[in-house]
Amino acid sequence: MKHAFPKPTAGLILFLLISFVMNTSAQKLSVTGLTVEHLTNPLSVDDPNPRLSWKLVSEVQNTMQTAYEIRLSTTASFSKKAFWSVEKKGDESVLVSYAGPALASKTKYYWQVRVKDNHGNTSAWSPIQYFQTGLKSSDWTAKWITVPGKDSLLASPLFRKDFKLSKTIQSATAYITAKGLYEAHINGKKLGDHYFAPGWTSYKNHLQYQVYDVTKSFNKGDNTIGVMLGDGWYKGRIGFGNQRQFYGDTRALLLQLEIEYTDGTKEIINTDNSWKTTNGPILASNIYDGETYDARLEIQGWDNIKYKETANWKPVRILPNGTEKLVGMSGPMVSKHEEFKALKIFKTPAGETVVDFGQNLVGWVMVKAKGASGTKITISHAEVLDKAGNFYTTNLRSAKQQNTYIVNGGAPQIFEPHFTFQGFRYVKIQGFPGTLKLEDLTAVAVYSDMNTTGTFATSNTLLNQLQHNIQWGQKGNFVDVPTDCPQRDERLGWTGDAQAFASTAAYNMDVSGFFTKWLKDVSADQLPNGSVPYVVPNVLNERDAGSAGWGDVATIIPWDLYVAYGDKGILEAQYPSMKKWVDYISSVSQNNLWNSGSHFGDWLFYRPNDDNDGRAAVTDKYMIAQTFYAHSTQMLLNAAKVLNKTEDVEKYSALLKKIKKAYVSENMTENGKLASNTQTAYVLALQFDLLPENMRQQAAERLARNVKDYGNHLTTGFLGTPYLCHVLSRFGYQDVAYDLLLQESYPSWLYPVKMGATTIWERWDGIKQDGSFQTPDMNSFNHYAYGAIGDWMYKNIAGINPVQEKPGYKAVVISPKPGGNLTSASATLETVYGTVKSSWVIQEGIFKLDVSVPANAKARVILPKTNKEEEIGSGNYHFESKY
Ligand code: RAM
């Protein structure tokens, strides 16, 4: 192994040159990326001890933090004595708990950090960042308002209030939430660039409110606030069987605007009986079916000053204070991201006008149109065309996914929905006035604001498309909650899918806030007996709970987040839920065997239609259940160790032994054959360490043989797939793992890619070789579960591995394992310490590897074939070895 940082390559000379120039003018050490509870400058922090993180930037190799100093103030100028300051030795830089005097509610705190490193450098103070505390329940003085009479209309009500502010504004903060969805406008402008507020939570347990700094939105003198409400998840159609009004039948608004004047006095504008309401242009909207908007019903200027209220505006009705627990937001908002131009407008064989955007995405189409008043434009959405080239919507089941716009005869308008989203690549347009042109249409992807953290590319273009499809599966299904699919009449937070995909998701994007928010609902919707629902938030029946591989989300995702982000707090917060789940399984087990209940099993595994010779890869459901019983117990045990819960460590270690013993006596012959001779059976038994050590290698051999028996094809479903290649790699079958990954014929990951997929499909054969479809009852073309292979791709191909004992990539193992026909691969991961990079190329028998390690972290680099190892600190390194 050559250790080449003094290697005089062109790149290195350039690097030295740049660093020399910088050193003369700037600091060698600086601090950046300040976050509070994983978020940048959050405005609704509820935690009494919010946790602060920062990143070190240094050009000097092997840099570690040796001390930090935090100061926190209630003024941006830090003019007053610091509210809290702390100076500590050590390398702690991630999720450091605030430990000062009690924080007041609705207060803004400014903070900054400086650090020292092991080379004797001291950084300058970081740029000042802030966080704001939320409202405590007694701070709420606003009243819930709704429409007069019963809220029986499908149309979206508008609410408005005019008011005067008598003095110059120092600061203004708005606290808003709704039962339903809301879109707020201030003085004629939409507030914020997000959608679907207040987000979807288990509304019966908690309802989020959003906080806005609206200092610049209001003026001394006349002002107007207007808000419209939609049905959303609260009142609209959600769940199965045309279910509506799951959470309630009355949409309502709660808004509190707190103003501080420059003279120090305060004023509060609340939703109360002074507000007025009428109906707006949205005739109907719901998540599955789309929105109908009649531009003729627009009320010009309704959300702005100088509007004269007509008699149509009626006084609102006040609702009694509810029991719902209002909470600040702990995750990201949903907003617009990538835009897609229309690629092609064409007539299908059935004579319909269809537009192709080239990417299956989630969001909607913005349509520019002008026409005679009353002209109705209908936009229908589909993921695929059928074999004949026709627009195919049967797989949407009962979801209409249709937006309708009625134009008002005025100037051209850009139409888009407000309270719904669609999953589509194609749209069908009916009734468009005039000739439809490509530039009249733009598709926009709408998803939760998660920073991209991972990049991954190889020399294999099919694999790169697979990575693209995994990322788009994530974007399309991370819309406030992790959904199984974004298009048909489902779009639910299926727990099995989420646990299968979570670790991959954490490579691609920063999902810390997103999952932290959702896990609160996993706890909240967990049944009193500890069972975990199939979907969270749970809009199905109470009894729809307790499936192995689904309920285990309660233990798996907290652990994944701990490993990826070093977040011990998430383990603390979720520990009771983790424990309740494991105890639930114990309570329904007999003789330590989980042999009861109803389970989805290895969902959507390989099962040929003409299965005459038993090729279907059916794995016994209770056998699977037992493996997840062990896995969840292991995750709980891991958490108990991290949290120093010694009694639990003892208790669950003993339980785990029994679970494994019971598994073996129930499912393994003396020779090591498992009761179900499937890939998933061997994968789960090996991944979760259920077999005695001396029986593992033979089991791995059986697995490899099984793969060969199917002609190098996988046969796994939702539960086996995430671990299949991991197990093969771990037991020395890296070549078999690559054979599976690079397999292009069905069933495989690349089969859909070859069939033109731009997202991950729900089923291995969503579109069959002859172009026909799988059953329309369940055939989503945007379903992330099988995208769980991404975790293996980052870990094995690129070789970026977390270390459980040093979570958050405080320590990282870089161990790329080239294979297949790959000649190069490159990945980066933005961790909580900074960027980790692993990039390799094989040239003329030499394996060349470039590695970056962020400051305040360490890496162990293991080169393939030679297996030579080296420990390194932060910096950029180049390695070469014979290959
Ligand atoms: C369907 C979907 C979903 C899965 C459940 C069990 O609704 O395929 O992804 O988790 O079934």
pLDDT of residue 13: 27
Q: What is the average pLDDT across 448-455?
A: 98
Residue 570 lies in a domain: yes
pLDDT of residue 1: 43
Directed axis angle between helix 621-642 and helix 553-565, to 10°?
40
Side-chain half-sphere exposure of 633, counting CA atoms within 13 A: 27
pLDDT of residue 612: 84
What atom of ligand 1 comes closest to residue 785's alpha carbon? Answer: 9
Among 756, 772, 798, which residue terminates a domain?
Answer: 798
- Ligand 1 close to Cβ of residue 496 (< 6 A): yes
d(CA 573, CA 519): 9
Helix (H/G/I), strand (E/B), else coil: 16: helix
Domain that holds residue 339: 334-448
Both 503 and 428 in one domain: the answer is no
pLDDT band at 10 (very low <50, low <70, confident <90, very high): very low
φ, ψ at 66 (rounded to 5°):
-110, -20
Residue 17 lies in a domain: no
- Ligand 1 close to Cβ of residue 484 (< 6 A): yes
d(CA 81, CA 74): 9
Which tokens go with 79?
Answer: 């003019």
Does residue 5 have a pLDDT over 50? no
d(CA 496, CA 84): 43
How far does the centroid of ligand 1 lie from the alpha carbon of residue 287, in Å?
Answer: 18
Which tokens go with 274?
Answer: 């002074």
Secondary structure of 159-210 as H, E, C letters: EEEEEEECCCEEEEEEEEEEECEEEEEECCEECCCEECCCCCCCCCCCEEEE
pLDDT tens for each residue of 811-841? 999 999 999 999 999 999 999 999 999 999 9
Both 323 and 420 in one domain: the answer is no
Both 470 and 439 in one domain: the answer is no
Q: Which of 477, 489, 491, 497 has most ligand 1 atoms within 8 Å of CB, for mutation?
A: 497
Does residue 87 have a pLDDT over 60? yes
Task: Please report, in angstroms and rounded to a whole number, the separation of the first and last CA atoms in the chain.
Answer: 11
Which tokens go with 544?
Answer: 């729809």
Burial class from Cβ neighbours inside 10 Å (0-12, 13-18, 19+) for residue 404 reads: buried
Both 385 and 484 in one domain: the answer is no
pLDDT band at 7 (very low <50, low <70, confident <90, very high): very low
Both 146 and 292 in one domain: the answer is yes
d(CA 582, CA 37): 28
Q: What is the average pLDDT across 417-421?
A: 98
Helix (H/G/I), strand (E/B), else coil: 681: helix
Q: Which of 396, 488, 603 has most ligand 1 atoms within 8 Å of CB, for mutation?
A: 603
- Number of domains within the chain: 3
Does residue 23 have a pLDDT over 80? no
Cβ pair 93, 53 in contact under 8 A: yes
How far does the centroid of ligand 1 lie from the alpha carbon of residue 808, in Å?
Answer: 31
Q: Which pTM value belongs to this model?
A: 0.96
What is the b/e burial string over 491-523, where b = at least 16 CB atoms within 10 angstroms of the residue's CB? bbbbbbbbbbbbbbbbbbbbbbbbbbbbbbbbb
d(CA 404, CA 425): 18
Does residue 801 have a pLDDT over 60? yes
Closest C-alpha residue for ligand 1 atom 3? 484
Number of H helices, E strands in the chain: 15, 45
DSSP conformation class of 257: E
pLDDT band at 14 (very low <50, low <70, confident <90, very high): very low
Number of Cβ within a 10 Å radius of residue 718: 27
Residue 78 lies in a domain: no
Both 206 and 286 in one domain: the answer is yes
Q: How many Å separate Cα 477 from the centre of its chain?
A: 8
Sheet order of strands, 221-230 included: 189-190, 181-186, 221-230, 157-165, 276-279, 314-315
pLDDT tens for each residue of 481-512? 999 999 999 999 999 999 999 999 999 999 99
Directed axis angle between helix 734-742 and helix 721-730, to 10°?
150
d(CA 821, CA 70): 50
Both 378 and 480 in one domain: the answer is no
Closest C-alpha residue for ligand 1 atom 4? 494
User: Which amino acid is it at 431?
Assistant: G
Residue 425 lies in a domain: yes
pLDDT of residue 613: 86
d(CA 218, CA 198): 22
Specify whether the backbone of 791 is left (phi greater than 0), alpha (psi in -120 to 50) or beta: alpha
Residue 227 lies in a domain: yes
Does residue 26 have a pLDDT over 90? no
d(CA 391, CA 344): 14
The answer to whether the Cα torsion of 78, 84, 89, 92 is positive or negative is: negative
CA distances to 69, 272, 482, 512 from 449, rounded to whole Å, are 30, 32, 13, 11
d(CA 372, CA 831): 54
Which tokens go with 223?
Answer: 């002002």
Q: Angle at the Cα of 398 (from 395 to 400), degrees rounded to 5?
A: 90
Which tokens go with 792?
Answer: 């293996």
pLDDT tens for each residue of 725-770? 999 999 999 999 999 999 999 999 999 999 999 999 999 999 999 9
Longest dimension (CA), the chain: 86
Cβ pair 227, 185 in contact under 8 A: yes
pLDDT tens for each residue of 109-121? 999 999 999 999 9
Both 209 and 287 in one domain: the answer is yes
> Of 253, 354, 361, 260, nearest to 758 (Cα)?
361
Residue 123 lies in a domain: no
pLDDT tens for each residue of 600-615? 999 999 999 888 888 9
How many residues can be counted in the chain? 883
Q: What is the average pLDDT across 787-812?
A: 98
Q: Return the CATH number at 199.
A: 2.60.120.260
Is 830 considered catalytic here?
A: no
List beta partners, residue 256: 175, 270
Whose tokens are 């690079």? That residue is 742
Does residue 390 have a pLDDT over 90? yes
pLDDT tens for each residue of 855-874? 999 999 999 998 899 999 99
pLDDT band at 4 (very low <50, low <70, confident <90, very high): very low
Does residue 136 have a pLDDT over 60? yes
Burial class from Cβ neighbours inside 10 Å (0-12, 13-18, 19+) for residue 128 reads: middle
How far does the centroid of ligand 1 lie from the alpha carbon of residue 484, in Å?
Answer: 7
φ, ψ at 296 (rounded to 5°):
-70, -20
Does residue 471 have a pLDDT over 60? yes
φ, ψ at 228 (rounded to 5°):
-115, 150
Both 205 and 270 in one domain: the answer is yes
Q: What is the average pLDDT across 270-276?
A: 98
User: Which amino acid is it at 172?
Assistant: A
Residue 39 lies in a domain: no
Closest C-alpha residue for ligand 1 atom 6? 600
- Ligand 1 close to Cβ of residue 602 (< 6 A): no
CA distances to 111, 338, 464, 795, 839 from 459, rounded to whole Å, are 45, 25, 8, 17, 12
Among 798, 820, 849, which residue terminates a domain?
Answer: 798
Residue 645 lies in a domain: yes
pLDDT of residue 323: 58
DSSP letters spanning 812-880? EEE-----TT--EEEEEEE-SSSEEEEEEEEETTEEEEEEEE-TT-EEEEE-TTT--EEEE-SEEEEEE
Both 180 and 241 in one domain: the answer is yes
Helix (H/G/I), strand (E/B), else coil: 366: strand
Among 448, 464, 490, which residue terminates a domain?
Answer: 448
Q: Angle at the Cα of 237 (from 236 to 240), degrees rounded to 5?
A: 155
Closest C-alpha residue for ligand 1 atom 5? 494
Q: What is the average pLDDT across 273-290?
A: 97
Cβ pair 719, 701 in contact under 8 A: no
pLDDT of residue 81: 84
Percent of the chain with pLDDT over 90: 94
Both 776 and 724 in one domain: the answer is yes
pLDDT tens for each residue of 89-112? 999 999 999 999 999 999 999 999
User: Which amino acid is it at 272?
Assistant: D
Q: Which of 396, 484, 781 has most ligand 1 atoms within 8 Å of CB, for mutation?
A: 484
Both 206 and 299 in one domain: the answer is yes
pLDDT of residue 27: 62
H or E element that contains 496: helix 495-508
pLDDT tens for each residue of 155-201? 999 999 999 999 999 999 999 999 999 999 999 999 999 999 999 99
- Ligand 1 close to Cβ of residue 486 (< 6 A): no
Which tokens go with 746?
Answer: 């069905």
Is 762 considered catalytic here?
A: yes
How much helix, strand and coil, in percent to the nearest 5, is found in the chain?
25, 30, 45
